[in-house]
């Protein structure tokens, strides 16, 4: 989905801006389903549970402002 490779995100020290937006969108979509906890989502993308919350909040703000 979105040409995203969660394995790449777990291993990369830095990701491009485009990859970051794609990752955040995928994180948001997974979060929105309510099927996974923030911890489980974070494990898929190499993020902490609090980073998942932050990425969701950032994407919500981005969607609201655009």
- 42 lies in a domain? yes
| pTM for the model | 0.81
For 44-59, what is each residue's pLDDT tens digit?
999 999 999 999 999 9
Q: What's the structural domain count of the chain? A: 1
- 8 lies in a domain? no
The b/e string for 25-59 (b: 16+ C-beta within 10 A; e otherwise) is: bbbbebbeeeeeebeebbbbbbbeeeebbebbeeb
R_g over Cα of the chain: 11
- 40 lies in a domain? yes
- 1 lies in a domain? no
Rounded-to-integer distance, Cα 17 and Cα 39, Å? 23
Contacts of 54 (CB under 8 A, 6+ apart): none
For 14-34, what is each residue's pLDDT tens digit?
888 888 888 899 999 999 999
């Amino acid at each position: 989905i979105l040409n995203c490779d969660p394995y790449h995100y777990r291993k990369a020290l830095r990701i491009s801006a485009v990859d970051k937006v794609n990752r955040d969108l995928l994180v948001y979509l997974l979060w929105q389903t309510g099927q996974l906890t923030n911890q489980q989502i974070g494990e898929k993308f190499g993020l902490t549970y609090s980073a998942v919350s932050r990425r969701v909040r950032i994407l919500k703000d981005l969607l609201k402002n655009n």
